[in-house]
């Protein structure tokens, strides 16, 4: 146990060191703007975020955990129930993510809560055997606008409120909310389901056709809107129990890694302010989860974010149009061979920026020394590159439990390379 603890402590120490180096470098060359995560992110305190609903859940004694990659969520402990909460995700789910969400829910029982007006979540509903589907249309009010009147049937009361760009839900099990839907041709209104409850095996599925009902700006209105949010929070506690972990979608929003990749492939019109905010958002997301995530081990995410910041620093100095290191950082979770390859590829691209061929040879040693690398580090990095190529090219090594150690070493080399590259760029007048 002591060895494991010391290993974890060393990994976190490396992450903190890299974060310090990268953040200092960022502050030295750019003015960091005030960070603002976007979308319905649970850590977004802005008007479109859902941080207030997270606090509401916590107020009812529920443990809230933010998930940035569903492929790596662990199976809950025996007797521990789970609520999976998906609020207006902006990107689709991979097959691996869908399967793991289903595995977590089926292994523990509990509740799936979906609040979305798009069809993004339908792949998950279908995989779980849920009959209901978010239809994806936009319901119209009496003025042919997107704010239809809706009635929700709570346990002991009914509440009436206005929706915002809501969608109909088809094939409902138990309807707990309907909205008046008008069309462009007639004045008559139809009632369309916008909230449903369905039971599938040992699961409870609650679907809301309007994710905006859980945003901060709506909860701040109070009244019926806050009553609905309280009802949903109590439903989670009712079906999931007091010893419940609420796993909340935190990675499918524009400020996360997908926007980072988009900005790098863009033609330069994207705002650099947004570019930097996406990085700060990612950092905030990781450390919030790191402190209060009972199911996910996020040490790797912290280390990966450190690498991401280093990459941003380098890329900023060289100009976004000249280097696309972010393509190697598609995931913030680092666990195995393919994750190590991403770090290895990043090191190779940094070597190219230094004017070196990224292949282990005496020429690489000489090139690193000419760039200002100490001789012993030049030889160590060359040996590391040779060793890495060997292991990456041998399938027999893919299942060995060594990749985390190699990732840690790769990140140390990344830090040293960053310092050399900074000195090189400064001396050449690039910054």
Residue ranges, the chain, pLDDT below 70: 1-38, 78, 184-187, 254-339, 342-343, 346, 349, 353, 394-405, 407-408, 411-412, 414-415, 418-431
Could you report the per-residue pLDDT of 308-329, keeping only the tens digit for each? 555 554 444 444 433 343 334 3
pLDDT at residue 342 in the model: 67
pLDDT at residue 389 in the model: 80
Say how far apart CA 182 and CA 142 lie, in whole Å. 6
pLDDT at residue 287 in the model: 47
Class of domain 51-249: alpha beta
Cα 395 to chain centroid, rounded: 30
pLDDT at residue 26 in the model: 40
pLDDT at residue 243 in the model: 80
Please classify residue 241 by burial: count the beta carbons closer than 10 Å to its beta carbon, then call 0-12 exposed, 13-18 middle and 19+ buried.
middle
CA atoms within 13 A on the CB side of 361: 7
Phi, psi of 391 (to 5 degrees): -75, -35
pLDDT at residue 217 in the model: 92
Say how far apart CA 68 and CA 290 lie, in whole Å. 11
pLDDT at residue 268 in the model: 41
Using an 8 Å Cβ cutoff, are 110 and 203 in contact?
yes
pLDDT at residue 386 in the model: 84
Give the start-to-end residue ranges of the domains of the chain. 2-36+257-427, 51-249
Q: What is the share, in percent, of the chain residues with pLDDT greater than 90? A: 31
Say how far apart CA 337 and CA 334 lie, in whole Å. 9
Residue count (the chain): 431
pLDDT at residue 9 in the model: 41
Question: What is the chain's alpha carbon radius of gyration, rounded to the nearest angstrom?
Answer: 25
């Amino acid at each position: 146990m002591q060895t494991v603890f010391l290993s974890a402590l060393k990994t976190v120490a490396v992450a903190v060191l890299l974060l310090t180096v990268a953040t200092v470098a960022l502050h030295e060359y750019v003015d960091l703007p005030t960070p603002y995560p976007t979308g319905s992110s649970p850590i977004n305190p802005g008007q479109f975020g859902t941080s207030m609903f997270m606090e509401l859940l916590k107020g009812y004694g529920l443990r809230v955990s933010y998930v940035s990659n569903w492929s790596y969520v662990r199976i809950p402990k025996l007797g521990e129930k789970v609520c999976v909460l998906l609020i207006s995700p902006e990107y689709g789910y991979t097959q691996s993510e869908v399967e793991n969400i289903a595995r977590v829910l089926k292994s523990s029982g509990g509740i799936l809560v979906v609040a979305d007006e798009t069809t993004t979540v339908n792949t998950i509903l279908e995989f779980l055997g849920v009959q209901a589907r978010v239809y994806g249309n936009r319901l119209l009010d009496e003025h042919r606008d997107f704010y239809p009147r809706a009635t929700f049937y709570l346990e002991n009361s009914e509440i009436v409120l206005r929706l915002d760009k809501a969608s109909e839900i088809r094939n409902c099990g138990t309807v707990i909310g309907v909205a008046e839907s008008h069309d462009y041709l007639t004045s008559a209104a139809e009632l369309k389901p916008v909230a449903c409850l369905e039971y599938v095996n040992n699961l409870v599925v609650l679907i809301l056709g309007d994710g905006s009902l859980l945003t901060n700006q709506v909860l701040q209105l109070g009244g019926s809107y806050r009553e609905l949010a309280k009802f949903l929070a109590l439903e989670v506690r009712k079906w999931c129990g007091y010893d419940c972990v609420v796993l909340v979608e935190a990675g499918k929003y524009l400020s996360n890694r997908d926007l980072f990749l988009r900005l790098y492939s863009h033609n330069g019109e994207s705002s650099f302010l947004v570019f930097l905010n996406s990085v700060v958002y990612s950092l905030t997301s990781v450390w919030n989860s790191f402190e209060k995530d009972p199911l996910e081990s996020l040490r790797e995410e912290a280390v990966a974010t450190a690498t991401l910041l280093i990459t941003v620093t380098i890329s900023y100095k060289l100009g976004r149009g000249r280097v696309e290191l972010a393509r190697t950082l598609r995931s913030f979770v680092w666990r195995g061979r393919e994750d190590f390859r991403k770090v290895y590829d990043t090191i190779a691209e940094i070597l190219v920026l230094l004017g070196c061929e990224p292949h282990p040879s005496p020429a690489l040693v000489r090139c690193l020394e000419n760039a200002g690398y100490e001789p012993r580090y030049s030889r160590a990095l060359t040996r590391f590159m040779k060793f890495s190529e060997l292991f990456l090219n041998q399938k027999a090594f893919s299942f060995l439990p060594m990749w985390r150690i190699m990732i840690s070493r790769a990140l140390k080399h990344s830090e040293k390379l960053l310092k050399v590259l900074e000195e090189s760029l400064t001396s050449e007048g690039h910054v």
